Chains A and B, each alone.
Chain A
Amino acid sequence: MSGGMHDIRVTVNGRAVAHRVEDRLLLSDFLRGVLGLTGTHVGCEHGVCGACTVLLDDVSARSCLTLAVQADGAEVRTVEGLGTAEALAPLQEAFRAHHALQCGFCTPGMLMTCIDMLATRRLATDEEIRDALGGNLCRCTGYEHIVAAVRSMVAARDAAGETAGERP
């Protein structure tokens, strides 16, 4: 049942990669299996849990509902493209400081979703933050510490005078 093969070129975390892939290969399986970037997690394979969220040309996308061939020519950003264990990115540091993760399985998808929402939403209230997190399931935290981490990032963003460009 294997289908056609396609050559794709993708920039992943700033690095250009070229591969020949089956047309049905999921982006999540491409990242994890072909590129060995196992930071992107797969929780449901039907687009509900959000654990597999990556940025596709800066927009959050479910890598389990995206085919690798759809990423041809695109820039993909995964959790591995954020900070490192020695130098966490501010968002990662906020998650650590607020204990916004427990088992860590949903966390990479949460982080990528948060990057998108911090860039595109005002997030003036906790209710707006909860609403924006609504597409990512976390079974461990009850979300409260995640909300606190995001709130701290919103405060820093707004203090720095950066504004979120509302996406239509």
Chain B
Amino acid sequence: MAAAAPDPLLRPGLIGARLPRVEDARLLTGRGTYADDVRPRDAAHVAIRRSDHPHARIVSIDTAAAAAAPGVIGVYVGEDLAAQVRPLRATSRMAGYHATEMWPLARGVVRYVGEPVVAVLAEDRYAAEDALELIDIAYEPLPAAMHAPEAAAADAPRLHDALPGNVLAARRFGRGDIDAAFAGAHAVVEASFRLHRKAPLAIEPRCAVAEWDHGRRALDLHVATNIPGVVRDALADCLDMPGNRLRVIAADVGGSFGGKGSVYQEELLVAALSRLLRRPVKWTSDRLEDLASTSQAFDERIEASLALDADGTIRGLRAEVLSDVGAYSIYPWTAALEPVQVVSFLPGPYRVPAYAAGVRAVATPKAPTGPYRGVGRPAAAFAMERLIDMAAARVGLDPAEMRRRNLVRAEEFPYRTGSGLIWDRSGFMETLEAALRDGGYAALRARQAEARAAGRWFGIGLASYVELTGIGSRISAAPGMPINTGMETASLRIDVTGAITAAFGIASHGQGLETTLAQVIAEELGARIDTIEVLQGDTALVASSTGSYASRSAVIAGGAATLAAREVRAKLKRAASLLMEADEADLEVADGTVRVAGTDRVMTFRDIARAIYADMGRIPHDRREDLISTQTYDPYLGTAASATHLAAVEVDPGTYAVRVLAYHVAEDCGRIINPLIVDGQVQGAVAQGIGAALLEEVTYDAAGQIVTASLADYLAPTAPCVPPIGITHLELDLPDNVGGFRGMGEGGTIGAPAAIANALSDALSPLGIAVDELPATPERLFRLVRAAQRKDDGA
């Protein structure tokens, strides 16, 4: 076991420093470059007529009036582009998986309300939107099963004619003798859990601007995405162009949370139209389009049961998951992404000797689901943590003690879960104890006793979870998908002026990677941070890239940056050794200089760079090395990041509104690069988790219409909804990767729904109510309380 790491706030050096961000000056002064800020002078603007049917055959489309409208350049339907592009098709080697095709505009059949059908190009967005209304589309409605339970039935109407049914993927996990585990159990707790569909809801709506350069037969796509590398590679396939004629740029991106983490029809559409028309083509979505067509998430139904010994020891876990994945299998992740992760992460940080679980991903006529912060794990933690609290109540243990008895213990790492994941040593138990201590668990229980005595509905909830972050090439986010999510490249150079440029394939969209990666490089290279320029969000920078997602960038790009910085540092020392005629072992590199230790002989990076690049003859030609390093890092496996959340809530008996009174997170994210940024990630993710628990729900009505298509209907947390969030950072044993970092961008969203569901169930336990459906809106709580009171009256 490694020695305890020093306090990140006190540790000298740049890794661990609470530095303000280098990005901020431009973003605070309105000088960022978000995709919609790219305004080519002669851009044609696209407006999209979208399907208003959940499932229908397109009988005819009359575009004549729209084409004749003022300012309109052209009107395009699916068939017009069929010869220009190949469709997006998310393949997978997973057995029993069925891919679907996504064309830029629907061809023949529409499969969700909001699917792109017709594109109008006009001189400005106003004219393009005007013309949309002049398009006349005749549809022949087709039958549809709106929700997963009906759609999964063998005789359900099929959404995709060419497929055998609506189940796009199915998988089973298991180990141990599950029947014996349940047969010999002292007690079994079981429940049906429902997490309703969410929208990632970045504040910047999706946007794409394509600029075709006919002279070079090359295309630049400025796009609000967090996966520019994946978009570039998809465009290369779909447009049949080489990568060196395609550049995808995501300069500043206004949040994603997963919603900008898939390749979209509109990105293909503007690229194809720009090439076809030989002029820039721009599409900026409005909020209605964003809510109706950006990937959605978390639409899960989980039936689960837990077998227990009398002392609370877990004997086994069973689960069946039905996942409503929407109309298409999203590119590149596939429809299996979220559902499979629900099942593979369900056992959580606990010792579960026997596990048996199945999952089905079912197509329904709704917007496709895709990644959303936490992917699968918010639903998994919600179900498992509720079972843990139910088990505690059943065997008469405090919920904290129930966790203590079942969390994987320090000596058991590495621990292989029932689904085959391997947890490296992480602070499972330590985060629990820290959350109890720093979150004031004992005091909250005392406060609860007083509140209960006064008849108030006050509850406390815990949630412990573990996620896999910084995942290398051994493990695919979705099994068998066609991209490598496990590696990252850093390309570092010191130029002749002594300035340092570090280029990456990642794509920051709020995480502050320009700052944290500069911190890593400054420390590893011995440079001043203000001399480092971090470039990212541009596929021209490195040969192969994907983007930023899955809590990977600090771990994998940070690892690549470390390797590249170490190589350039070695080159600096070799050059300085020649130039100062000193032994390399006597050289110290710090603060942008190389010094002969204990002397006043010193060269700046600039002196050395000039000597190498510009001063002929100063270094023997056969010993000259450019101050450049390109390194690719693949951590192969991933590393566990664990946390425990503690929430206290109170339900208003008049309005059924829920107030989150206290919230504490204790987490182990390995070596912290910048505590200020880590705090911000935790707070923001918890706020999203509170939204998932209490407010946020995408609703489709029985006719397949999305009825939460504005921010008045889809409620996201505002400042008064979010309490102050206490945070305890634990830096325990560092993971076995280059930088010692663990990913931590998603955890808050994983823990919060579970902690709040447990707190609400605790608050309402005097009424015999369990909260197993989220979001726990006032209406749902009202119905639960009413039903409980009726039952009491009837008894």
State whether A103 and B716 are in contact (beta carbons under 8 Å apart), knowing that A2-B70, A85-B31, A142-B725 are contacts in the complex. no
B29 touches which one: A36, A46, A82, A144 (CB < 8 A)? A82
Residue positions of B touching A, CB distance < 8 A:
20-21, 23-32, 34, 36-37, 39, 70, 124, 126-127, 130, 201-205, 252-255, 257, 286-287, 509-512, 676-677, 679-680, 683-688, 710-712, 716-720, 722, 724-725, 748
B719 near A134 with CB under 8 A, answer: yes
Q: Is the C-beta of A116 less than 8 angstroms from some C-beta in chain B?
A: no
Q: Is the C-beta of A96 less than 8 angstroms from some C-beta in chain B?
A: yes
* Extra pairs beyond A38-B36, A88-B29 (10, CB < 8 Å): A88-B28, A96-B21, A99-B20, A101-B27, A104-B23, A104-B510, A106-B254, A138-B203, A143-B718, A145-B683
Contacts of A144 in B (CB 8 A): 683, 722, 724-725
State whether A42 and B679 are in contact (beta carbons under 8 Å apart), knowing that A2-B70, A143-B687 are contacts in the complex. no
Contacts of A131 in B (CB 8 A): 719-720
B36 touches which one: A37, A42, A79 (CB < 8 A)? A42
What's the Cα separation between A38 and B26 when bound, in Å? Answer: 12
B724 near A139 with CB under 8 A, answer: no
What's the Cα separation between A107 and B24 when bound, in Å? Answer: 10
Chain B proximity of A141: nearest CB distance (Å): 5
B30 near A80 with CB under 8 A, answer: yes
Contacts of B257 in A (CB 8 A): 139
Contacts of A92 in B (CB 8 A): 28-29
A39 touches which one: B21, B31, B205 (CB < 8 A)? B31
A101 touches which one: B24, B716, B748 (CB < 8 A)? B24
Some 20 contacts from A to B, beta carbons below 8 A apart, are A38-B36, A39-B32, A42-B205, A43-B287, A45-B286, A49-B287, A79-B30, A92-B29, A99-B677, A102-B510, A103-B510, A105-B203, A107-B28, A129-B719, A130-B720, A136-B718, A139-B203, A142-B680, A143-B718, A144-B725
A106 touches which one: B39, B203, B685 (CB < 8 A)? B203
- Interface residue ranges of A64-84 to B (CB < 8 Å): 78-80, 82-84
B202 near A103 with CB under 8 A, answer: yes
Q: What are the nearest 9 A-B pairs in CB distance?
A: A39-B30, A105-B254, A104-B27, A103-B510, A142-B687, A142-B683, A102-B510, A48-B711, A79-B30
**Size range of the interface on A?**
35 or more
What's the Cα separation between A113 and B127 when bound, in Å? Answer: 32
A137 near B28 with CB under 8 A, answer: no
What's the Cα separation between A48 and B712 when bound, in Å? Answer: 7
Chain A proximity of B8: nearest CB distance (Å): 15
Mask, A18-43, CB within 8 Å of B = 1, is 00001011000000110011111111
The residue in chain B whose Cβ has the minimal distance to the Cβ of A132 is B719
Chain B proximity of A87: nearest CB distance (Å): 10
What's the Cα separation between A39 and B39 when bound, in Å? Answer: 13
A38 near B680 with CB under 8 A, answer: no
B716 near A41 with CB under 8 A, answer: no
The residue in chain B whose Cβ has the minimal distance to the Cβ of A81 is B30
Chain B proximity of A124: nearest CB distance (Å): 16
The residue in chain B whose Cβ has the minimal distance to the Cβ of A127 is B720
What's the Cα separation between A3 and B30 when bound, in Å? Answer: 31
B719 near A146 with CB under 8 A, answer: yes
The residue in chain A whose Cβ has the minimal distance to the Cβ of B290 is A44
State whether A46 and B712 are in contact (beta carbons under 8 Å apart), knowing that A104-B252, A104-B510, A147-B719 are contacts in the complex. yes
Chain A proximity of B455: nearest CB distance (Å): 25
State whether A137 and B711 are in contact (beta carbons under 8 Å apart), knowing that A33-B39, A92-B28 are contacts in the complex. yes
A133 near B718 with CB under 8 A, answer: yes
What's the Cα separation between A46 and B21 when bound, in Å? Answer: 31
Contacts of B509 in A (CB 8 A): 103
Chain A proximity of B183: nearest CB distance (Å): 46
Chain B proximity of A130: nearest CB distance (Å): 4
Most buried by A among B29, B70, B722: B29
A96 near B712 with CB under 8 A, answer: no
The residue in chain A whose Cβ has the minimal distance to the Cβ of B727 is A144
